[in-house]
């Protein structure tokens, strides 16, 4: 009830009322993770309906698929990691742009090694010639690996990258098919418990520039030009979900209600999972770290994953989240005693 009343009060404050006309359908593709919680919260609480949008969300297996479908306007919005595929899409002048941050520092990613190698591989410098797992050849994970090797005098070309989906990392470690891997939550907790891997380096302590934006929300620009108010309304609703997510991340008063909503929407069927899992952090105002994304682009070009550098204004468009933030006002953290980094 508290959440419902708060939502109604916010809607009234920004001049919203349930749409009396036919809803605008917006199709969204997402690579589902805990950070998808912001979108699911906005769906569960009717924020999209408040602005006259019927959101049709669909899970995607990879950001490469997402970019292609976004460019074809089969999805108007997608959520996913900042892969080289984005910059290759800009090279082809496809109608896409990054619009808001989805996951950013602290990211909680770890470069992990097999336990039997811990006396052999003591720093990333010892990984020369070793087999390291990434979830994609031009994925943000490969960028992270490269950035974690460079301070130790290695390039990504000095190691052998093997591609595995994240859920297969455990088997690869167990079978000694890999020596190391760029591991993301929740596997960062599970692997040490099961004796599959140990931490070598934390991404948050090494990768610069920081904060790092590893995942974004992107939009089809042709669609947005034809439907400017619908696009603005999408991000107004979306940012309400982001703010609720961040309040729950910082153990605000509605955390239990939000976890119940995420369980209901199938993010995970066990409420206890959300009390122990790493919640992806993000920018509460939705702003992408321009320095981080531009560094990724330069790295992908330098390592021949893509071939051209584009200015920030071609890659990122903050106008939609800026519109939402102007409507919503400044983000105010409810639990001012929270010591957690990120989501502020």
Structural domains in the chain? 2-105+213-328 (3.40.190.10), 110-206 (3.40.190.10)
Size (the chain), residues? 344
Note the pLDDT tens digit of each residue in 162-181.
999 999 999 999 999 999 99
Provide the pLDDT for residue 21: 59
- Whether 19 shows a pLDDT value over 60: the answer reads no
Q: What does the alpha-carbon distance between residue 90 and residue 107 come to, in Å, rounded to a whole number?
A: 26
Q: What percent of the chain has pLDDT over 90?
A: 87
Provide the pLDDT for residue 147: 98
Q: What does the alpha-carbon distance between residue 131 and residue 234 come to, in Å, rounded to a whole number?
A: 43
Note the pTM of the prediction, 2 decimals: 0.92
Task: Tell me which of 16-20, 62-66, 168-172 is least confident.
Answer: 16-20
Q: What percent of the chain has pLDDT over 70?
A: 93
- Whether 42 shows a pLDDT value over 50: the answer reads yes
- Whether 4 shows a pLDDT value over 60: the answer reads no
Provide the pLDDT for residue 60: 86
Provide the pLDDT for residue 32: 83
Note the pLDDT tens digit of each residue in 77-95.
999 999 999 999 999 999 9
Q: Which two tokens stand for residue 310?
A: 């584009």
Q: How far is CA 81 from CA 65, 72, 119, 325, in A?
A: 12, 19, 33, 23
Provide the pLDDT for residue 74: 97
Q: How does DSSP assign 111-168, residue by residue?
A: EEE-GGGTTT--SGGGGTT-EEEES-TTSHHHHHHHHHHGGGT--GGGSEEEE--GGG
pLDDT category, 26, cuts 50, 70, 90? Answer: very high
Provide the pLDDT for residue 20: 45
Q: What is the β-pairing status of strands 180-183 and 96-104?
A: unpaired
Provide the pLDDT for residue 266: 87
| Residue 185 CB burial class (10 angstroms; 0-12, 13-18, ≥19) | middle
What's the average model confidence in pLDDT over 95-99?
98
Q: What does the alpha-carbon distance between residue 327 and residue 128 come to, in Å, rounded to a whole number?
A: 51
Q: What does the alpha-carbon distance between residue 63 and residue 174 come to, in Å, rounded to a whole number?
A: 27
Least Cα distance to 47 among 71, 69, 18, 27 occurs for 18
Task: Tell me which of 1-10, 35-44, 227-236 is least confident.
Answer: 1-10
Q: What does the alpha-carbon distance between residue 340 and residue 343 come to, in Å, rounded to a whole number?
A: 8
pLDDT category, 63, cuts 50, 70, 90? Answer: low
Beta strands in 149-251 (DSSP E): 160-163, 180-183, 198-202, 213-220
Q: Which two tokens stand for residue 57?
A: 């969300």
Least Cα distance to 238 among 323, 317, 338 occurs for 323
Report angle CA 232, 237, 241 to the nearest 5 degrees: 140
Report angle CA 115, 120, 125 to the nearest 5 degrees: 110
Q: What is the β-pairing status of strands 96-104 and 213-220?
A: antiparallel
Write the CB contacts of 182 (distance below 8 Å, at least 6 apart in sequence): 109, 110, 111, 132, 133, 134, 135, 141, 142, 144, 145, 148, 203
Report angle CA 87, 88, 90 to the nearest 5 degrees: 65
Q: How far is CA 247 from CA 50, 242, 243, in A?
A: 21, 9, 6
Q: Which two tokens stand for residue 312?
A: 């920030």
Q: What does the alpha-carbon distance between residue 201 and residue 122 come to, in Å, rounded to a whole number?
A: 10
Cβ(313)–Cβ(98) below 8 Å = no
């Amino acid at each position: 009830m508290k959440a419902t009343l708060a939502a109604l009060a916010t809607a009234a404050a920004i001049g919203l009322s349930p749409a009396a006309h036919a809803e605008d359908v917006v199709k969204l593709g997402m690579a589902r993770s805990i950070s998808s919680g912001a979108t699911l919260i906005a769906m569960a609480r009717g924020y999209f309906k408040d602005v006259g949008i019927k959101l049709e969300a669909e899970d995607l297996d990879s950001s490469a698929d997402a970019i292609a479908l976004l460019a074809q306007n089969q999805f108007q919005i997608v959520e996913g990691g900042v892969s080289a595929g984005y910059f290759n899409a800009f090279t082809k002048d496809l109608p896409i742009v990054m619009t808001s941050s989805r996951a950013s520092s602290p990211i909680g990613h770890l470069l992990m090694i097999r336990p039997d190698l811990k006396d052999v591989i003591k720093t990333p410098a010892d990984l020369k010639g070793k087999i390291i797992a990434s979830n994609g050849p031009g994925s943000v994970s490969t960028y992270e690996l490269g950035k974690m090797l460079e301070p130790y005098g290695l390039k990504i070309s000095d190691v052998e990258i093997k591609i595995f989906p994240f859920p297969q990392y455990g088997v690869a470690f167990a079978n000694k098919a890999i020596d190391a891997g760029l591991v993301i939550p929740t596997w960062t907790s599970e692997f040490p418990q099961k004796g599959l891997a140990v931490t070598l380096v934390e991404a948050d302590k090494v990768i610069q520039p920081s904060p790092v934006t590893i995942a974004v929300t992107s939009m089809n620009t042709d669609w947005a030009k034809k439907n400017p108010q619908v696009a603005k309304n999408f991000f107004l609703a979306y940012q309400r979900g982001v703010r609720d997510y961040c309040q729950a991340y910082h153990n605000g008063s509605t955390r239990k209600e939000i976890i119940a909503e995420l369980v209901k929407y199938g993010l995970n069927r066990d409420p206890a999972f959300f009390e122990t899992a790493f919640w992806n952090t993000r920018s509460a105002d939705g702003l992408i770290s321009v320095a981080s994304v531009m560094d990724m682009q330069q790295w992908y070009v330098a390592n021949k994953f893509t071939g051209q550098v584009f200015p920030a204004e071609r890659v990122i468009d903050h106008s939609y989240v800026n519109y939402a933030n102007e409507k919503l006002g400044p983000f105010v953290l409810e639990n001012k005693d929270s010591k957690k980094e990120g989501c502020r």
